[in-house]
Amino acid sequence: METIVVTGGAGFIGSNFVRHALARTEARVVVLDKLTYAGNLESLADVAKHPRYAFVEADIADREAVRALFREHRPAAVVNFAAETHVDRSIDDPASFVRTNVTGAFELLEAARLFLREEPDAAAGFRFLHVSTDEVYGTLGATGAFSETTPYAPNSPYAASKAGADHLVRAYHETYRLPVLLTNCSNNYGPFQFPEKLIPLMILNAVEGRSLPIYGDGGNVRDWLYVEDHCEGILLVLRKGALGGKYNVGGGNERTNLQVVDALCKALDAELPAAKSPALAARGLSSYAGLKTFVADRPGHDRRYAIDASKIRAELGWSPRHAFEDGLRETVRWYLAHRAWCEAVQSGSYRRERLGLSG
């Protein structure tokens, strides 16, 4: 039985991928996660007793722990989701982003290189897939989209740290012929996302009758991708992507932040009518939209992202299954049904005052 190591598998996209891989493959899935504030075993509770699942608590920047994992589990593939991802946090504490996103990626690549050198029999079919972001490309004007050949121009410490990791991945293929793959995705949304990011933050704040903070004029544009669609794309790239190849994965759902918040208010009202909300009534409001509040923009806030996903569509036949409104409706329903999960992951090191910051 082949083994897939999923780093950062207790986080948002990682935990969704773990469930996807267990359902769609016969592989054993070993999760490596440091369990920081955004990585929580609550996100994997439903697969904890699965016979093909195992968990290892460790930091990808811990050289000995990572190399020991390779020796013990002899993976046929590694999918690296492990990363610090919140732009606001990278502005406050860039050092932790460099450690995890750059040094951590280096340690994983080195461990893979040494593993294949020392055990050449394991090299047949081995693949190392690094999951990155469209933020490495910088910002766009009113038109155009990021392709796989768009020059890198990161504008935040987070984006710069992910760009550094991307360059290391490419270099390890060119220098050592390590069988790597690289994906750059647009903004994900869906179940199990830590509630500091825009969509879950707005859902939970609205239900509690709290303000819905929107940066600047709300005109920043993102391309939204439902997390299950992203996981399908990642598994397809892992199985069929050209080694050394790079694939942009986007939903084709460009929306301004203001449009996203308005759509969320509408979807929430359909599931939990604002007219019946005691939290809104206490503030003298009759609609979720009345909670919208415009706040000062954050430094270096990219104006627009858009993904050209034509390569993965043409070469591998992938396309997203969820229209934005459909995925948003499913997301709202999930968060309303999983308030206990939200409360659990917000405990510990997470500070409630951070709910004033959108992702």
pLDDT tens-digit profile of 112-128? Answer: 999 999 998 888 899 99
Q: In whole angstroms, what separates CA 65 from the centre of its chain?
A: 24
169 burial via Cβ count (<10 Å: 0-12, 13-18, 19+)? buried
The pLDDT, as a whole number, for residue 194 is 87
Residue 38 to residues 22, 66, 85, 202, 270, Cα–Cα distance (Å): 22, 20, 9, 17, 29
The pLDDT, as a whole number, for residue 350 is 36
The pLDDT, as a whole number, for residue 122 is 83
The answer to pTM > 0.85 is yes
Q: Rounded CA gap, 278 and 268, in Å? A: 15
Output the CA torsion 165→318→236→241 (10° steps): -60
R_g of the chain computed on alpha carbons? 20
The pLDDT, as a whole number, for residue 98 is 92
Residue 69 to residues 1, 31, 32, 60, 82, Cα–Cα distance (Å): 17, 10, 9, 10, 15
The pLDDT, as a whole number, for residue 351 is 37
**Residue 31, beta-bridge partner list:** 6, 55
The pLDDT, as a whole number, for residue 201 is 94
The pLDDT, as a whole number, for residue 159 is 94
305 burial via Cβ count (<10 Å: 0-12, 13-18, 19+)? buried
The pLDDT, as a whole number, for residue 352 is 36
H or E element, residue 294: strand 292-295
- Please say whether the beta carbons of 178 and 184 come within 8 A: no
The pLDDT, as a whole number, for residue 240 is 98
Other residues' Cβ atoms within 10 Å of the Cβ of residue 100: 22
- Within the chain, which residues score under 70 in pLDDT? 348-359
DSSP per residue over 154-189, as a string? --SHHHHHHHHHHHHHHHHHHHH---EEEEEE-EEE
φ/ψ of residue 57, rounded to 5: -90, 115
- For the domain bounded by 3-193+224-252+301-323, which CATH number is listed? 3.40.50.720
- Please say whether the beta carbons of 324 and 186 come within 8 A: no
Catalytic residues: 134-135, 158
